[in-house]
């Protein structure tokens, strides 16, 4: 190895110097020897380094094995630690839940204890109050016992009196039963069991029957006094029954409607005079019977009198009432219908009146209170009319002349309750006013209309 301190060989520009060359060789040897010596030391050092490296590698392998062993142990330790940690966490969660529940229970028990203490204090206060009450009650009990002794003595006296009164009561009850039996027999003899009160159900039944009779009488008038009938035999007697209706001879709508109204008014009058009566008796006795009925103003006496009259009646009396009514109606209506329809008219009217009489005998004459039959007035509530005759006029002139031109069905009440409000034709309705305009001023001959100022009807 060259010595770094060796100086480089110089060359003379004039050629090699022999002395210098010898010195240079020696010097080279010296340098070489030095290099060899240095290399020997380096080799020894290198050998030492190799040995040392082997030892270090051996130590490294041992250390690596130890590190691997320690790493494995560390992993196992961490795994055991994780398992123990998970176990501890689970156990802690369970124990914390138990602890939280225990805390809640403790708080609830604490509140219950406070409430129990408060209740105890209240109970103690109540106990003191009740103790005072017990003392007061004991004093009252002693007083009540003294009163009870007095009452026992009084009760003995009352029991004795009760035995006496009980025997008297039994005798009175036996007498009462006898009187009830006698009263029942008397009431049956007086006919009180025949009559019935007009209650809600009876009112409904009567309203239905009366509405049906009103509609049927209207239907009879429409069926037999129709547009196909072109003539009417004028009769002053019919005009006198309905003086406010202008009866026209002709085929106009108004003339036919006026004749229909007159026909139904005649049926209505027959119902009031012959059918809707307290009882059916002969004409010669009817006035006297009505006067006697008015004489008895008490309901019980009226029922007794009505029963006595009813006992004397027979079915022929009902037939006679129907026959009288039918004869009267047909005698007048025959003048308003063609002769070929008279037989059918008589049959329809008779059937209608028989039905009306049967209804009235069953429902009207057996009512405990007499039914009130009147003709409607302008001031009455619930008065009806048919749409074909038109409503009353609202003008000032009509207000002054507003009245009932004809009663088509009577007004019927029971105990102040309206069963049928009555059906009328108003004098100021559109049809009546038009018919009056069509009528001549005087009724002469067969082509005139009789217009009378007199009124006729049953009050």
The predicted-structure confidence for 142-175, as pLDDT tens digits, reads as follows 888 889 989 999 998 999 989 998 888 988 888 8
Which structure tokens are listed for 3?
A: 């010595």
Residue 210, pLDDT score: 96
Q: Determine, yes or no, domain membership for 36.
A: yes
Of 142, 177, 210, which closes a domain? 142
Out of 74-78, 79-83, 91-95, least confident range: 91-95
Cα separation of 183 and 95, whole Å? 95
44-48, 266-270, 334-338, 370-374: which is most confident: 266-270
Q: Which residue has the higher pLDDT, 18 or 347?
A: 347
Same domain, 130 and 266: no
Separation between Cα atoms, residue 125 and residue 131, nearest integer Å: 10
Compute the C-alpha angle 346/348/350, nearest 5°. 65
CB-CB contact of 304 with 260 (8 Å): no
Q: Which of 98-102, 181-185, 223-227, 245-249 is the least confident region?
A: 181-185
277 lies in some domain? yes
The reply to whether 183 falls in a domain is no
The reply to whether 94 falls in a domain is yes
DSSP secondary structure string for all residues of 397-454: HHHHH--EEEEEE-EEEETTEEEE--EEEETTBHHHHHHHHHS-SS--GGGS------
Would you mind telling me the total number of residues written for the chain in this entry?
Answer: 459
- Residues of the domain holding 295: 200-447
Higher pLDDT, 192 or 138: 138
The CA R_g of the chain, rounded to the nearest whole Å, is 69
Task: Provide the 8-state DSSP code for 271.
Answer: I
SS3 of residue 374 by DSSP: strand
Q: How many CA atoms lie within 13 A of 154 on its CB side?
A: 6
Kindly report, residue by residue over 50-64, the tens digit of the pLDDT. 888 888 988 898 888
How much is the pLDDT for 351?
A: 96
357 — pLDDT class (breaks 50, 70, 90): very high
How many angstroms separate the CA atoms of 205 and 246, rounded? 36
- Those residues whose C-beta lies under 8 Å from the C-beta of residue 101, and which sit 6 or more positions away, are none
Domain boundary among 102, 126, 142: 142
State whether 214 and 130 are in the same domain. no
Residue 444 has pLDDT above 80, yes or no: no
Q: Is 11 left (phi over 0), alpha (psi -120 to 50) or beta?
A: beta
For the residues 232-246, what does the mean pLDDT come to? 78
Among the ranges given (125-134, 243-252, 312-321, 324-333), the one the predictor scored with the smallest mean pLDDT = 312-321
Average model confidence (pLDDT) for the chain? 80
Distance CA 181, CA 183 (A): 5
What is the average pLDDT across 300-318?
66
204 with 137, same domain: the answer is no
Q: In terms of domains, do 257 and 111 share one?
A: no
- Residue 422 CA to residue 428 CA, distance in Å, equals 17
Do residues 372 and 414 touch, judged by C-beta distance below 8 A? yes
Domain boundary among 127, 142, 157: 142
pLDDT of 102 strictly over 70: yes
pLDDT band of 47, cuts 50, 70, 90: confident
Of 14-28, 32-46, 155-169, the one with minimum mean pLDDT is: 14-28
Residue 170 in any domain: the answer is: no
pLDDT value, residue 6 = 47
Instruction: Assess if residue 88 is contained within a domain.
Output: yes
Domain total in the chain: 2
- Which of the two residues, 3 and 143, has the higher pLDDT score? 143
Does any domain span residue 176? no
Residue 412 and residue 313 share a domain: yes
b or e along 369-407 (b: 16 or more beta carbons within 10 Å of the residue's beta carbon)?
Answer: ebbebebbeeebeebebbeebbebbeeeeeeeebebbbb
| Residue 278 and residue 394 in one domain | yes
Instruction: Please tell me whether residues 104 and 226 are part of one structural domain.
Output: no
pLDDT at 396 over 60: no
Q: How far is CA 374 from the centre of its chain?
A: 40
Residue 459's pLDDT is 30
Reading the block at residue 303, the tokens are: 């029922």
Task: Say what the pTM is.
Answer: 0.55
Let me know if residue 412 belongs to a domain: yes
Asked if residue 407 has pLDDT above 90, the reply is: yes
Instruction: State whether 212 and 126 are in the same domain.
Output: no
- For residues 136 and 250, membership in a common domain is answered with no
Please give the distance of CA 100 from its chain centroid, rounded to a whole number. Answer: 55
Are residues 136 and 256 part of one domain? Answer: no
Tell me: do 121 and 209 sit in the same domain: no
Quick one: pLDDT band at residue 36, thresholds 50, 70, 90? confident
| 72 sits in which H/E element | helix 18-190
121 and 32 in a single domain? The answer is: yes
**Alpha-carbon distances, residue 385 vs 41, 396, 408, 456 (angstroms):** 158, 21, 9, 21
Higher pLDDT, 451 or 420: 420
- Rounded to 5°, the CA angle 370-374-376 comes to 145
């Amino acid at each position: 190895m060259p010595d770094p301190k060796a100086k480089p060989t110089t060359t003379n520009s004039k050629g090699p110097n022999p002395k210098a060359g010898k010195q240079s060789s020696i010097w080279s040897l010296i340098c070489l020897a030095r290099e060899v010596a240095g290399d020997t030391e380096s080799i020894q050092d290198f050998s030492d380094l190799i040995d040392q490296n082997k030892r270090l590698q051996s130590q490294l392998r041992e250390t690596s094995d130890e590190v691997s062993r320690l790493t494995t142990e560390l992993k196992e330790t961490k795994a055991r630690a994780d398992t123990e940690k998970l176990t501890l966490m689970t156990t802690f969660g369970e124990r914390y839940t138990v602890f939280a529940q225990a805390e809640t229970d403790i708080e609830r028990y604490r509140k219950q204890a406070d409430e129990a203490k408060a209740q105890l204090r209240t109970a103690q206060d109540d106990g003191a109050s009740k103790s005072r009450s017990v003392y007061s009650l004991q004093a009252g009990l002693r007083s009540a016992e003294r009163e009870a002794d007095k009452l026992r003595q009084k009760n003995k006296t009352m029991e004795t009196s009760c035995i006496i009164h009980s025997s008297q009561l039994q005798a009175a009850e036996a007498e009462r039963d006898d009187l009830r039996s006698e009263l029942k027999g008397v009431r049956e003899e007086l006919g009180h069991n025949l009559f019935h009160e007009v209650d809600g159900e009876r009112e409904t039944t009567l309203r239905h029957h009366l509405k049906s009779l009103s509609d049927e009488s209207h239907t009879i008038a429409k069926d037999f006094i129709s547009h196909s009938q072109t003539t009417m035999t004028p009769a002053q007697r019919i005009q006198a029954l309905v003086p406010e209706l202008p009866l026209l001879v002709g085929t106009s709508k108004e003339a036919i409607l006026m004749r229909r109204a007159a026909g139904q008014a005649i049926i209505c009058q027959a119902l009031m005079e012959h059918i809707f009566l307290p009882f059916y008796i002969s004409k010669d006795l009817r006035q006297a019977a009505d006067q006697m009925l008015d004489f008895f103003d008490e309901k019980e006496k009226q029922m007794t009198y009505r029963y006595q009259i009813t006992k004397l009646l027979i079915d022929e009396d009902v037939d006679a009432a129907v026959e009288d009514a039918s004869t009267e109606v047909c005698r007048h209506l025959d003048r308003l219908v063609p002769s070929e329809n008279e037989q059918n008219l008589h049959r329809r009217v008779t059937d209608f009146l028989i039905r009306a009489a049967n209804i009235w005998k069953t429902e009207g004459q057996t009512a405990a209170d007499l039914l009130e039959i009147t003709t409607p007035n302008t001031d009455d509530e619930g008065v009806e009319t048919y749409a074909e005759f038109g409503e009353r006029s609202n003008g000032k002139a009509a207000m002054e002349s507003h009245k009932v031109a004809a009663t088509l069905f009577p007004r019927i009440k029971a105990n102040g309750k309206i069963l049928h409000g009555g059906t009328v034709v108003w004098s100021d309705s559109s049809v009546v006013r038009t018919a009056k305009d069509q009528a001549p001023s005087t009724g002469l001959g067969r082509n005139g209309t009789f217009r009378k100022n007199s009124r006729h009807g049953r009050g």
